[in-house]
């Protein structure tokens, strides 16, 4: 399939037809086109609209439109046929990365001009742009339009936020993305329901923001510390309301204290209150002490509820680990007793002993934590019983106050009555403000508690994966499913079972080398294989460690797409390239991307498929240690020669 055929396939779709009608200027007449019926051309509604452009047409290109991310809203913004053809070409990820000289992920007018000048000269004629120019560049960069067309091309017709068209990336790094905004714009299905476009759901989008779903174990533990600090702040905020150091409550309480002092002064000086003045002062004092006790009790209840919530989370996670240990132990096979399996049997026995010991310790820990939870729940029950008593006392005191207030209204002066009303309103305002502030702060506290539980659960899941992975590595029970690999691939590339430094067996091609791989990265590879197993794929490492000479030789064969010797993570044993197979076919496109997203989420590695947004070439097959440069890029770790 050549480039024009590719465009025609897209323009034949219903979305493509809409693009053609709404975003491409129609030629004045077909007679003006520089081709006849036998000439390869781009067609719209069956009519040729472009074959080649002469010097005049090239000079009329609107480069601002080529690099713009704005939507087409009127006829003046429509693309000429040439501009449409170029816009689509520049949106192919590999092409865009070549044109994007500064690597910032966005094309400037100057970069577009420079690249199109280079494009025009590919057929030896700088005066025009033809199919031969496009085909030369596609061939140089191994861009497979057939795969792009068949697997992941999707035109986006949404005009509200995106311009023109966009498509997704295939498993072979052939993505098209017209604009950054288009890549993240939900497309509409024919039924009107929103769905995520291919470009949005695969590696055309910006690299994932760090969330607990794509953090490594160490990052999760750091996140837990941060969330626990937030939890302490929210707990303090609730306590501040109860002890009246909260600014709003403090302000309301200050006003109430002032109103109380003025009221009590009036009572002492009012002759009509002499018979019950002492009772009023005594009742007010008791109410204040009762409220202080209630506030203190509420603080203790909030604290105890937090401890119980944390304890429940701890227990839940412990039981999850207990289940993982039990599953891991039961997954280990019995030693065969065969002489040839002596080392393997010893490894299995050692792992069983280790897991059994850890399992016993976890059972004891669960029992201990269950007792602690029961103790905390009893303490909370006592606090709630005390609150019930204090609230009953408060009701009695307030009933007595109501009777005394009636005496004031019957026997005291108007001035004293005004002071009483002001005092009561001030007290009611304190209660109102406290209720509002407690509702707000307790809601935030609950959110913070849930956030800590959430990250705790993710940490437990990560640890459980390590438990299962280590058991699997010990027994080498991975189903390698070599029959999933196409016969042609097995014949051409071979397929061998290699053993990692931790004993894990993996399928590799016969040229793949895994010596001198860093232990930190090797420890993650069983997870790659586990995830592939769970998804029903056969996992094959196609490239592992690479010497400096090998990198330079590959660069000479393939061009600057390959890093120079000494600049590649493969040269330091911290990267692999992989292939996945199922039912005799290579896994690619959305399925491969789903696998890759799980790998980077569950292992914390960097995936080459995320690099396109930075103007680099996609390397969907490539995975590397996230911080390899800081840790391993030094002469001591450089692989100069492979081990014998």
SS3 readout for 28-85:
CCHHHCCCCCCCCCEEECCEEEECCECHHHHHCCCHHHHHCCCCCCCHHHCECHHHHH
Tokens at residue 605, please?
Answer: 């590695």
Q: How far apart are the first and last CA of the chain?
A: 45
| pLDDT value at residue 39 | 66
pLDDT tens, residue by residue, 340-354: 878 778 888 888 898
CB 172 within 8 A of CB 152: no
- Domains in the chain (CATH in brackets) are 3-201 (no CATH), 217-475 (no CATH), 482-637 (3.30.1380.10)
| pLDDT value at residue 61 | 85
Whether the full predicted model's pTM is greater than 0.75, yes or no, is no
Which stretches of the chain score pLDDT less than 50?
14, 28-37, 150-209, 477-478, 613-616, 644
CA distance 164 to 146: 22
Tokens at residue 1, please?
Answer: 């399939």
CB 607 within 8 A of CB 203: yes
CA distance 113 to 86: 11
| pLDDT value at residue 75 | 61
């Amino acid at each position: 399939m050549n480039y024009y055929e590719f465009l025609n396939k897209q323009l034949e779709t219903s979305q493509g037809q809409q693009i053609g009608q709404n975003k491409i200027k129609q030629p004045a007449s077909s007679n003006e086109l520089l081709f006849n019926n036998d000439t390869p051309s781009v067609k719209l509604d069956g009519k040729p609209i472009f074959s080649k452009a002469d010097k005049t047409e090239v000079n009329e290109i609107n480069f601002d439109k080529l690099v713009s991310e704005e939507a087409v809203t009127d006829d003046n913004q429509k693309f000429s046929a040439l501009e449409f053809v170029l816009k689509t070409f520049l949106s192919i990820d590999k092409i865009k990365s070549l044109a994007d000289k500064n690597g910032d992920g966005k094309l400037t007018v100057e970069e577009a001009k420079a690249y199109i000048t280079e494009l025009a000269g590919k057929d030896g004629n700088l005066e025009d742009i033809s199919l031969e120019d496009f085909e030369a560049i596609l061939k140089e960069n191994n861009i497979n339009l057939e795969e792009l067309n068949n697997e992941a091309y999707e035109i986006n017709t949404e005009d509200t936020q995106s311009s023109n068209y966009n498509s997704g990336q295939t498993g072979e790094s052939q993505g098209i993305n017209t604009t950054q905004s288009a890549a993240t714009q939900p497309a509409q299905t024919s039924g009107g329901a929103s769905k995520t476009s291919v470009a949005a759901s695969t590696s055309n989008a910006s690299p994932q923001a760090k969330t607990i779903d794509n953090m490594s174990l160490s990052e999760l533990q750091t996140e837990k510390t941060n969330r626990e600090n937030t939890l302490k702040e929210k707990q303090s905020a609730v306590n501040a309301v109860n002890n009246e150091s909260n600014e709003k409550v403090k302000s309301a309480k200050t006003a109430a204290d002032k109103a109380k002092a003025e009221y009590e002064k009036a009572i002492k000086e009012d002759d009509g209150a002499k018979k019950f003045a002492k009772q009023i002062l005594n009742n007010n004092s008791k109410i204040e002490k009762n409220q202080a006790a209630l506030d203190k009790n509420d603080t203790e209840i909030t604290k105890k509820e937090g401890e119980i919530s944390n304890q429940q989370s701890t227990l839940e996670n412990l039981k999850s680990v207990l289940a993982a240990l039990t599953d891991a132990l039961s997954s280990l096979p019995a030693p065969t007793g065969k002489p040839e399996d002596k080392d393997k049997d010893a490894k299995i026995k050692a792992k069983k002993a280790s897991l059994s010991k850890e399992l016993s310790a976890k059972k004891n820990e669960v029992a201990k934590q269950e007792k602690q939870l029961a103790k905390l729940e009893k303490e909370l029950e006592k606090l709630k019983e005390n609150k019930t008593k204090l609230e009953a006392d408060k009701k009695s005191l307030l009933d007595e106050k109501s009777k005394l207030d009636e005496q004031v209204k019957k026997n005291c002066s108007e001035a004293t009555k005004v002071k009483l009303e002001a005092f009561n309103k001030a007290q009611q305002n304190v209660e109102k403000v406290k209720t509002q502030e407690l509702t707000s702060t307790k809601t935030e506290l609950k959110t913070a508690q849930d956030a800590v539980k959430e990250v705790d659960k993710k940490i437990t899941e990560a640890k459980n994966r390590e438990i299962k992975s280590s058991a699997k590595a010990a027994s080498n029970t991975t189903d390698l499913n070599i029959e999933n690999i196409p016969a042609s691939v097995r014949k051409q590339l071979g397929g061998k079972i290699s053993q990692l430094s931790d004993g894990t067996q993996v399928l590799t091609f016969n040229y793949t080398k895994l010596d001198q791989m860093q232990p930190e990265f090797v420890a993650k590879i069983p997870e790659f294989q586990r995830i592939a197993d769970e998804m029903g794929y056969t996992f094959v490492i196609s490239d592992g460690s690479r010497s400096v000479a090998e990198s330079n030789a590959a660069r000479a064969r393939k061009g600057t797409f390959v890093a120079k010797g000494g600049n590649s993570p493969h040269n330091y044993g911290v990267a692999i390239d992989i292939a996945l197979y199922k039912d005799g076919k290579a896994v690619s496109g959305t399925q491969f991307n789903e696998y890759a997203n799980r790998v980077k989420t569950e292992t914390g590695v960097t995936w080459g498929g995320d690099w396109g947004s930075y103007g680099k070439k996609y390397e969907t097959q490539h995975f590397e240690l996230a911080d390899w440069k800081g840790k391993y890029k030094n002469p001591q770790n450089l692989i100069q020669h492979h081990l014998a």
